């Protein structure tokens, strides 16, 4: 996605921000269509995401903007931005640098699978 | 997924429920790998999901359990249940009945795409 100029505040208001001023964001890998992670954005994070062409989230634990991959190098280049029917969830289609989205070094954050027979979580092989 | 007996409460505590006792749930279609929707579950919804083998969410607007498709017929049969690295998001892999997940009658709830040139949302063709 090309870098674009700052978007108008009016547009941001089309999103149904929650009581904390946040919207849920699902990151899905372009091509593989693997679901990589779920994170959150505030208005500033979404604006920066569109300006940079890379995912910028709001870290709820650190209470600050989080340009994903700024330290690890595992940035997410934005291919598409989609919004759901009721405007409270964004789906980002991304190119995941090094194919590592998780802070554990794994490809996707969703590496635990429920084993219906053993009735416990099992770590999936990549 | 086979229907399984009720799971222990201890297991449910491995999930990091939020301050409202909820966990975010992404539904992804088996096969196509399309992301269909984001919804929420409480402990009872997750238990019922695993027992029925069909997605049961917690409706935050109606404040009640919501067996998806009970009225519309567009049920979601569970193929896999995955948990993310920090335990606060579930990824359901489902067979979407009639391939209609959205209450609008569309396949996926994520049918609005951000147009970087026009700078507004565009409804995607299915």
Per residue in B62-109, pLDDT (tens digit) is 999 999 999 999 999 999 999 999 999 999 999 999 999 999 999 999
Q: CB-based contact (8 Å) between B38 and chain A?
A: yes
Interface predicted TM-score (ipTM) of this complex, two decimals:
0.92
**Residue B24 and residue B20: Cα distance in Å, rounded?**
11
**Residue A10, both tokens:** 């009016």
pTM: 0.92
* pLDDT band at residue B6 using 50, 70 and 90 as cut-offs: low
Of all residues in chain A, the one with the smallest CA distance to B84 is A110
Bridge partners of residue A113, in order along the sequence: A122, B82
Instruction: Report the relative pairing of strands B23-29 and B89-96 from DSSP bridges.
Output: parallel
Q: Which of B33, B91, B119 sits opposite A33 (nearest CB)?
A: B33
Query: Which residue of A36, A109, A124 is the best one to mutate when testing the B interface, meaning the one whose CB has the most B CBs within 10 A?
Result: A109
From CA B65, how far away is CA B104, in angstroms rounded? 20
Q: For residues B122 and A73, what is the distance between their CA atoms, to the nearest angstrom?
A: 32
Could you tell me if A46 and A12 are in contact, meaning their C-beta atoms sit under 8 angstroms apart? yes
Rounded Cα distance between B6 and A118, Å, is 13
Rg (CA), chain B: 15
C-alpha distance from residue A73 to each of A78, A101, A110, B81, B88 (Å): 15, 10, 20, 30, 24
């Amino acid at each position: 996605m090309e870098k674009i100029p700052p978007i108008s505040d009016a547009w941001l208001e089309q999103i149904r921000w929650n009581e904390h001023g946040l919207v849920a964001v699902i990151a899905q890998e372009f091509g593989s269509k693997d679901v990589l992670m779920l994170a959150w954005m505030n208005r500033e994070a979404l604006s920066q995401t569109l300006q940079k062409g890379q995912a910028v989230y709001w870290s709820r634990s650190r209470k600050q903007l989080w340009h994903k991959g700024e330290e690890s190098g595992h940035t997410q280049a934005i291919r598409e931005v989609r919004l759901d029917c009721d405007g409270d969830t964004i789906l980002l289609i991304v190119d995941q640098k090094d194919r590592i989205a998780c802070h554990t070094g794994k490809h996707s954050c969703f590496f635990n699978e429920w084993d219906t027979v053993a009735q416990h979580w099992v770590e999936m092989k990549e």
